[in-house]
Structure formats: structure tokens, C-alpha cells
Amino acid sequence: MAGWLYLPRFVDKIRLSEAGKLDADYLPNFLHKGFDAKWLETAGLEAEEFVAVVKGTLTDGEVTDWIRENVEADESTRELFNDAVGNYGADEANTELRQRLAERKAGAGMGDRDDIQCFVDFIDADEGRL
């Protein structure tokens, strides 16, 4: 979506929240922490502004068009963001983050899943896509 790896998931979370259907597990980080906050910061947007954009659109294509017209992040910025999010937790040298990923996997009953190598993998597995 407009070259942003995380954007489709974020838009879905906003739409679920607006419909009162966002899982309670996501509420502590929603909009103001984690990948949500990092995307908003990188895009140069405030949470309330982006929620209003999503609420004012019917399709992902409309959101994409708005982003292309209003977000000034260049391709290099998007690539850096996408790499950081897509590989968050995969760096073997970052033992603290690897430990947190292992704890999240174990807590979700996926401690034996060697195919889960980063937090995006964990999210995909947790939500049944991996």
C-alpha cells in the first residue's frame, strides 16, 4: 500500500477499532506504541489525523491515494522503515529482543516454531497466516 509494508495491517486495525471489533490484546499498543507509532512518526502524521483519514474513506485505494498526496516520505525512508519492521527481532546479535520474541512465542504456545524468526512472523503465525 503506497510502498509501506505495515500500512495494510494498520488500516485494518483502525477500521476494526472504529467498528468496536479490535481485539483487546491490541489496545495497549494501538496508535501510540509499537509499529503503529513508528509508522505514524515516519510518515509525519498524528494518530488522530490518520484515523480521520481512514474513517473518511471507504477503500484501501482511497487511503493509498491520500498517502501518496500527503505523506512526504521518500522511497529510501519507506525502504528503511519496511526493512526495520519486516526484520524486527531477527538480528541474532540483539539478544534482548530475541529473548522477548522467544517469550512471546512461548506464551502463545509456539515456542517450538523455528519458522518464526521475527515479530512480523510471530504476528502472522498468531493470526493464522503462517
pLDDT recorded at residue 73: 92
Q: What percent of the chain has pLDDT over 90?
A: 92
How confident is the model over 58-77, as pLDDT tens digits?
999 999 999 999 999 999 99
**Residue 97 pLDDT more than 90?**
yes
Residues 74-87: b if buried by 16+ CB within 10 A, e if exposed: eeeebeebbeebee
The whole-number pLDDT of residue 129 equals 85
Per-residue confidence (pLDDT) for residue 70, from 0 to 100: 96
Average pLDDT value over all residues in the chain? 94
pTM (2 d.p.)? 0.84
Q: Tell me what pLDDT residue 47 has.
A: 97
Alpha-carbon torsion (1, 14, 126, 75), positive or negative: positive
Residue 89 has pLDDT above 90, yes or no: yes
Q: Which of 65, 118, 66, 68 is nearest to 91 (CA)?
A: 118
The mean pLDDT value for 26-36 works out to 94
